[in-house]
Structure 1
C-alpha cells in the first residue's frame, strides 16, 4: 500500500466522529469551572489503570504476546482495565496488533510507518482498512471467551457507566478529566508506540522493520518505548533489556511473579533463567 492508495481508502465516519467528539469535549477542561486538582489526580490515576495495567500489561504483553499468565480472575480484571481505554475492544485490539507484528512496516501492516507519521499515529484508524477482515483469524484463542465478547460489544456502555459513577463522585470536572482528558492522553501515548518508535530513537537489535528504542515514549507508556527490543523479541515480558532501559511494566510483572500471580514468564534468550 502506497501513500496514494492509503488516501483513497474510504473514510470511517463512525470513528472520525467518535475521535472528534472525545477530543472536543476534552477541551472543556480548559474552562476554570471544570478544573480541580482532584479531577486532575483522578485523570492521572485512571491513566495508570487503563494505560499501564489495561493496555500495556493486559492487552499487549499478557493477551497479545502471551508473555506471562495470570489466574483467570486477574486476566479479566486487566482486560476490563484495557477496555476502559476505549481503543476498540480487546478482540479487535489484539487482532490488529498481532497483524502489525506479522507484517511490521510492510503493505499489510495496519499502521505501516512507511506511509508517514500521521498515518501510523492515527490516520489509519480514520479509514476502512482491510486488516479488520483478518482479525478473526488472529484471535481464535480469545474470540470465543464470553468475557472478551462482553468487553468488545459493550465497550462504550462500560465507559458511560464509569462516567456516571464519576459524575456522582465529583460532578462534571471528574467526568471531563476522568473520561475525556484521560482518554485523549492514553490514546496519543499509545499511538506514539505505533508512530514515534518507528521514527525516532536507536536500534539495538535486528528486527527487519523500522522499530526503534525511544526513551521518552518508554517514559510515557510504562516501558513500551523500548520498541526495537520488543520487535526483536516479541514474546519477552521484559522490553527494557539494558539495565538503564527502565521498564515499569516489567517491574509490575516481577511483583506479580513474587506474589505467585504471574507464571510462565517469557524472556529474551539472553535474559532467560530456569
Structure 2
C-alpha cells in the first residue's frame, strides 16, 4: 500500500504536544550535572522506572488494559494506569487507541505505511515522534466501548501532563532543580526514545519464531532488547500470542514484566493470567492453528 492510498483511512498530522514535551524533556536533560546526583536520587530513579515503565506501561496498560491478559480489581487497574502517566509517553487512552489502530493494520495483508516498517530509522523517528494518525472511521478498529468511555482513563488522558508537572514540583522541593531534571525530564526523554527505538527494532531486526498467518508484520525477537524493555522486545512472540501475559517463550528470553506478573499473582493482586499455553490448548481443542511455527529455536 502506497502512502497516498492511506488518505481514505485517516490523516497523518503533526502532533504539537508530542513534539513539545519530547524536546522539553531532551533540552532539560542536557543541563543536568550528573556528577552532583546522589545515590539516593539514582536509586529513586531506578524505582520510578520499575513503577512506571514495567508496571505502568508493560504490565498495566499493555498486557492488562489493552490485551486483557489477566484479571484484576478496578482500583489496581486504575493504579497501574496512573503509573503509566508518569512514563511521559502521553495519555493512556491515546496509547490504547493507537495500539488498536496499529494492531489492526499490521494484521492485514497490506499495512498502512505509517504502521508498517518498510522505511528507514530516520523516517520512523519523524513519523512516530512527531506525527499522529487520525482515522476516518474509528469503528473499524473494534475498540471496546468500555475502554473508550472509561472515566478514569479519560481523566488521565486529559490531565497526564499536569500530573508530571506535579511530580516535578514535588521533586524540586525535595531534592532541588538538578535532581528534578534527572528524575523527570531525563527519565521521560530516555523512556520515550527507548520506547520508539525498541518498537522500530523489534519490527526490523532479530530472530523469528512465528509467522502470523495473513499479517503484514510478524515482529522479531531480540534477547537484549527484550531484557531492557521488560519483555516488550520479544515482539514476535507477542504478535503470535497477543493475549498472553508472558512475552518470553524460551529459557534464554528474560521477560522482567512476566516476573512482575508472577509476583502480583502470588500476592493476589491479579488472577486468571493467560499465557501462550492457554491459546495453544484452545487451538488444539478446536483444531484451529492461527499461526505458522517456523520452530527455528525449538
1:205 aligns with 2:198: no
Query: Structure 1's 234 and 131: CA in aligned 2 closer, same or farther, altered over 3 A?
Result: same
> Which of 22, 28, 35 lines up with 1:25 in the alignment?
28
The equivalent of 1:99 in structure 2 is 101
Shift of 1:27: 0.9
The equivalent of 1:150 in structure 2 is 155
Shift of 1:188: 2.0
* Aligned residues of 1:99 and 1:110 also touching (Cα < 8 A): no
The equivalent of 1:266 in structure 2 is 274
Q: Structure 1, unaligned stretches of length 5 or more? A: none
CA distance in 1 between partners of 2:119 and 2:102 (Å): 14
The equivalent of 1:127 in structure 2 is 131
> Which of 214, 225, 228 lines up with 2:222 in the alignment?
214
The equivalent of 2:62 in structure 1 is 60
Quote the RMSD (CA, aligned, Å). Answer: 2.7
Query: Structure 1's 131 and 174: CA in aligned 2 closer, same or farther, altered over 3 A?
Result: farther
Query: Structure 1's 3 and 260: CA in aligned 2 closer, same or farther, altered over 3 A?
Result: same
* Aligned residues of 2:226 and 2:233 also touching (Cα < 8 A): yes
* Aligned residues of 1:204 and 1:229 also touching (Cα < 8 A): yes
CA distance in 2 between partners of 1:176 and 1:27 (Å): 9
* Aligned residues of 1:237 and 1:267 also touching (Cα < 8 A): yes
CA deviations 1:118-157 (Å, max 9, x no partner) are 3445533312423497399525221222211111111011
Which of these two proteins has the greater Rg computed from alpha carbons?
2
Pairing of 1:1-274 with structure 2 (within 5 A): 2=2, 9-30=12-33, 32=35, 35-104=37-106, 106-108=110-112, 110-121=114-125, 123-131=127-135, 134=138, 138-207=143-212, 208=215, 209-269=217-277
My pick for the range that moved more, 74-83 or 141-150, is: 141-150
* Aligned residues of 1:201 and 1:213 also touching (Cα < 8 A): yes
CA deviations 1:61-97 (Å, max 9, x no partner) are 0011111111111111110000111222111101111
Query: Structure 1's 79 and 69: CA in aligned 2 closer, same or farther, altered over 3 A?
Result: same
Shift of 1:160: 0.7
* Aligned residues of 2:244 and 2:274 also touching (Cα < 8 A): yes
Which of the two has greater strand per residue? 2
Number of residue-to-residue matches in the alignment: 272
CA distance in 2 between partners of 1:158 and 1:257 (Å): 28
TM-score (norm 1): 0.88
Shift of 1:47: 1.5
